[in-house]
Structure 1
Amino acid sequence: MVNRLSLSLFLLFLSLCVFDNAFGGLITARVDRNPIVIDESVTYQLIINDPSGKEPDFSPLNKDFEILAQGSSTNMQIINGTSSRSKQYQLSLMAKRIGKLTIPPIAVGKEQSNAVELIVTTAQPSGTTAGNQDFFLEVRATPEKPFVRSQVLLTVRLYVGASLASGSLSEPEPENTTVHKLGDAREYTTTRNGRNYRVNERRYALFPQQPGQLVIPPLLFHGQVGTRSTSFFDPFPKAGATKRIRSKELRLEVKQKPAQATLPWLPSQQLTGKMELNQTTGEIRAGEPITINFAINAAGLPAARLPEPKLPLDKTVRLYPDQANFENTLTDRGLTGVLTQKITLIPSQAGEVTLAPQPISWWNTTTNTLQQLSFEPLTLQVLPPIAPVRAPIDSPAQIATPISPEKVPAAAPQPFWTKGGGWFWTSIVLACCWLLTLIAWWKKGTAEHSRDFDQATDTNNTAAIRTLEKQLHKACAAGEAEAARKLLNQLTTSQETRGALQDAVAQLNAYLYGGAGNGNQWDGTLLWQAWKNQHRQNDNTTTSVPSDGLRPLYQNGLKQENR
């Protein structure tokens, strides 16, 4: 009896330990920036899932941090009838010293949050004049000597040391450069020359399209001083004197593409890719489709610049690629281009099939070396097709059964149309006339609706073509040959390429697939001018000539090299 009681108590204690560990991840702690500069505030967040009502103990933070502000909010969700509740605390902290600091775990009842490591660095040296101003701007670009069409990170910081009633800050607009804003602005506080400032920080990804000197014009801040202010660009304080400040002009030296680099020119910080077989069953049989999923990620490179994968196959496999999907994601480190594509394959006979995509050459801007992205080959074992099962000729299912005399059917009854006399045929004639009247009325309504629909469709098609033409103009001006080729494929589906436009398309094909670029950037001026001339001629022509459109740049959905 004593042994059973001891065993029961032990099992109960063990279950309580397991239950306690299962909820160890209910409290999460994090910071909004890491690392930070000394005398700059950092936002510390403590998220409690399914709170018990007990308040957290923030006293351990006082050792290395000063708590400037504190707030909390509660969130409740109901999903599929199940409710969940969480509570979030936000603290504005200021580090007391420089170095690698640890924000200790925060206790909430018996639970504890995770520890957070925070790196605090020394402040950047600043001029005496800037430290004594009410407002000033800092603009920095890295790297200072980028490659053409590679990513340049631009950081803009607005320092506000006085009350601000209203204000606006211009955006960077350098010439021959593509600009992407990286998320929303961030706000924090810092100290310069013993004076407190609120900082509005914005980050941009720039892609210079031409080698040589890149000039980033000064940014302009226009604001009015107010008597009080609670946040940036607060419209409620009373307006005072107007202030205008400009940042310094930046000049960067954009380097030409290295001689050993290949085409297409893909400068990236990191290029990764994978190929996966999207097959739910284990068997692959001849004549049945299978799907291959491709994904390519490029850090510091727009998705439109990524080449579609090339998958060489033999004649025993038919290829049906889907349209590639291009998407850009924005982070603090810059822009990341993502290409995804699905390709359907149908093997025509049994045997072994190896899928080995061609490697993609790219330039590593971090190490300044030429590298290749290789995909791991997939080897498929294709089984013979399943032949349909047919019944033998002499099977019992196909032997005729004689009809016995007692099963001979009786005489067929008299048809109903002979029973009614002339009234039956009169009714039939009247019904047919009524039916013809309904058909004529329906066709008239359908024709009117079709005319209205055709007019609306023509208007929509004209707006879509104008949008594509604007995108083609930008691609030609920026020298983006790959983007221009894709836009031409959409614009020339119902037009014939002739004369100067046909010659310009031939040059574009030679540049992309024949290696005729010789390392030089493609000039889209000729293509855009030829397109405008032919489009103007088509507008002046009253008749349309059916054609096959632009010469296809794909064979089975993949790019082909000129031979």
Structure 2
Amino acid sequence: MVMALKRPWRQALLALLVCLPLAALAQQPQDQVAFIELSASEDEVYVQQQLRLTVKLYYTNQVVQGQLSDPEHPDAVIEKTGEQKQYRQQLNGERYRVVEREYLIFPQKPGRLQLPPLEFQGTARHPQGQHYRVSDSAVLFPVNVKDIPADFSGNTWLPAADLTLSARGLEQTGPVAPGDNLTRTLTLTARGLPATTLPSLDIRYPDAIRSYPEPEQRQSSAGDSGVVGELQQTMALVPVSGEGGDITLPEIRIPWWDVNEDREKVAVLPARTIQLTPVSGPAPAKQEQPVAEPPESAPGNEQEPAPARWLWPVLTGLLAIGWATTVAAWWLHSRRRGLAATDTRAPGNEKERFHQLCDQARALDPAFFNGFPGWARELSGRHCRTTDDALTILCDDRLTGVVDRWRESLFRSAGGAAPDGNELSAALRAARQGWQARSSRKRGKDQALPDLYPEGLNP
């Protein structure tokens, strides 16, 4: 009778020992293993105003791999800013590893902006060795997007935290003579707006002075409060009047909307007066001497040869650069014809994502900006988190120009028209072929993929 009781007890004890780890595993709360936390800088913004989104993923040492999704929305331009941060933090007595990412969101339509849920999918290891799946999702609260105020007086909508207009150059304190080459640089800086949204500084100077502007320089950088856009315009100013007197450079006014005080402000660069010395008395008599008058000068335009002294060397340099560019293009074309332009990367997600990206380009879908960096990263195997990073990797001037035009049309209410979707798709295909042609010279080299996730989270 005793032996008959021992066997059932032994079987029950064995079953209990087997089920205990599985029961503990089933009762393991996933929100203590890995969870997402979202925060935003504002709950109400204007259309095209910057909204900063912070995404934090908390996970314990039990998580061995996983993937965290990026935010996306068809009516917003979303770009990741800076590098992701990795650190440790203790919550409720538990020590977590933390991955923190920052995103900038620019809503393109007024109304209610609701981002889809951000999700984490991963695998964790139980202390006894069993593996199990963990997941979590989080939804950001709805954001109210307000339309452009009806009383805004500017031609370009500029919702910013701060906007300044400054000038340097024209340091001369005394009079200037006709033909003197003066240099002036204007700088427009905005906190909370990318450089592509800033308006061009088109200034009408008086007839007594001629302006020779250089190409605009635009750059965006990430600061503590988000993006900082800067537009810089440098120009040469040459007085041409033969009479003395004052030349007044006009005042520059740029209306913008202060999102902190919720009211319109105007960035003002005051007018600047330059004193011009008259041409000396003997100067006109010298024009009758053949030696003093160049054959190219026209009657009544005595001051024209002065700026020509520096203009001809500039034109000569530009012609030399043009010839050098033509020779380089011919050589590169010859090289490309001799190289096999086939892509040695195995077909897969890159090709599928590229076709999807082309469809978005043809439809001018803003979701293009969300998938563009990921496709460029998969194509090249290089570090790529933003649209500008992708354009740098592809190194294609045509594609850069079309994308910049599109971004300007999205951000600037008075900007130019959006490019044609077929033009954008064609530029994207040409950029991909160009990259493949360049990379064909590096076949056989194993390009290590960048570390997309923190240590222990590589899928």
Q: Distance in 2 between matches of 1:374 and 1:242?
A: 59
Quickly say closer, same or farther: Cα 1:194–1:356, change in 2 above 3 A: same
Deviation at 1:346, TM superposition (A): 0.9
Deviation at 1:358, TM superposition (A): 2.1
TM alignment of 1:101-500, pairs within 5 A = 133-226=32-125, 240-262=131-153, 263-279=155-171, 284-349=176-241, 350-384=244-278, 387=283, 453=330, 456=333, 464-465=397-398, 468-469=401-402, 471-472=404-405, 478=410, 480=412, 484=416
Quickly say closer, same or farther: Cα 1:316–1:340, change in 2 above 3 A: same
Q: Distance in 2 between matches of 1:337 and 1:475?
A: 13
Deviation at 1:197, TM superposition (A): 2.2
Give CA-to-partner distance per residue, 1:127-170, whole Å, 9 cap, x none: xx999521110111221110000010101111123333223322
Give CA-to-partner distance per residue, 1:492-521, whole Å, 9 cap, x none: xxxxxxxxxxxxxxxxxxxxxxxxxxxxxx
Deviation at 1:356, TM superposition (A): 3.0
Deviation at 1:331, TM superposition (A): 1.7
Deviation at 1:287, TM superposition (A): 1.3
Q: Distance in 1 between matches of 2:87 and 2:32?
A: 18
CA contact (8 A) 1:165 1:225 kept: yes
Give CA-to-partner distance per residue, 1:360-389, whole Å, 9 cap, x none: 000000000110001133222222357599
Q: Distance in 2 between matches of 1:280 and 1:456?
A: 49
What fraction of aligned residue pairs are identical, expressed as a percent? 27
Q: Could you say what secondary structure the match of 1:288 adopts?
A: coil
Task: Choose between structure 1 and 2 for higher RCO, CA contacts under 8 A separated by at least 6 residues.
Answer: 2
Deviation at 1:454, TM superposition (A): 8.7
Comparing 289-298 with 372-381, greater Cα deviation is found at 372-381
Q: Distance in 1 between matches of 2:250 and 2:44?
A: 37
CA contact (8 A) 1:165 1:239 kept: no
Give CA-to-partner distance per residue, 1:11-48, whole Å, 9 cap, x none: xxxxxxxxxxxxxxxxxxxxxxxxxxxxxxxxxxxxxx
Q: Distance in 2 between matches of 1:381 and 1:300?
A: 39
Q: Which amino acid aligns with 2:37?
A: E
Quickly say closer, same or farther: Cα 1:315–1:303, change in 2 above 3 A: same
Q: Which amino acid aligns with 2:156?
A: P
Deviation at 1:216, TM superposition (A): 1.3
Q: Distance in 1 between matches of 2:328 and 2:408?
A: 36
**Structure 2 equivalent of residue 528 of structure 1:** 420
Give CA-to-partner distance per residue, 1:419-456, whole Å, 9 cap, x none: xxxxxxxxxxxxxxxxxxxxxxxxxxxxxx98992993
Question: Based on CA coordinates, which of the two structures has the bigger radius of gyration?
Answer: 1
TM-score (norm 1): 0.47
Quickly say closer, same or farther: Cα 1:130–1:204, change in 2 above 3 A: farther
Quickly say closer, same or farther: Cα 1:529–1:179, change in 2 above 3 A: closer
Q: Distance in 1 between matches of 2:70 and 2:119?
A: 8
Q: Could you say what secondary structure the match of 1:318 adopts?
A: strand
Q: Could you say what secondary structure the match of 1:146 adopts?
A: strand
CA contact (8 A) 1:301 1:336 kept: yes
Give CA-to-partner distance per residue, 1:168-207, whole Å, 9 cap, x none: 3222112221123221122333333332322222111111
Q: Which amino acid aligns with 1:296?
A: L
Aligned residue-pair number: 297
CA contact (8 A) 1:268 1:299 kept: yes
Quickly say closer, same or farther: Cα 1:267–1:319, change in 2 above 3 A: same
Q: Is there any run of 5+ residues in structure 2 with no aligned partner, and where? A: 1-27, 290-325, 338-395, 428-459
Bigger helix share? 2
Superposition CA RMSD, Å? 3.8
CA contact (8 A) 1:355 1:377 kept: yes
Q: Which amino acid aligns with 1:453?
A: W
Q: Could you say what secondary structure the match of 2:44 adopts?
A: coil
Q: Which amino acid aligns with 1:258?
A: P
Q: Distance in 2 between matches of 1:184 and 1:328?
A: 15
Q: Which amino acid aligns with 2:121?
A: H
CA contact (8 A) 2:197 2:408 kept: no
Q: Could you say what secondary structure the match of 2:233 adopts?
A: strand
TM alignment of 1:30-45, pairs within 5 A = none
**Structure 2 equivalent of residue 504 of structure 1:** none
Quickly say closer, same or farther: Cα 1:473–1:321, change in 2 above 3 A: closer
Quickly say closer, same or farther: Cα 1:337–1:451, change in 2 above 3 A: closer
CA contact (8 A) 1:180 1:204 kept: yes
Q: Distance in 1 between matches of 2:75 and 2:146?
A: 14
Bigger strand share? 1
CA contact (8 A) 1:279 1:291 kept: no
Deviation at 1:482, TM superposition (A): 5.8
Quickly say closer, same or farther: Cα 1:132–1:340, change in 2 above 3 A: same
Q: Could you say what secondary structure the match of 1:363 adopts?
A: strand
Q: Distance in 2 between matches of 1:182 and 1:469?
A: 22
Q: Distance in 1 between matches of 2:189 and 2:328?
A: 47
Deviation at 1:472, TM superposition (A): 4.3
Give CA-to-partner distance per residue, 1:79-128, whole Å, 9 cap, x none: xxxxxxxxxxxxxxxxxxxxxxxxxxxxxxxxxxxxxxxxxxxxxxxxxx
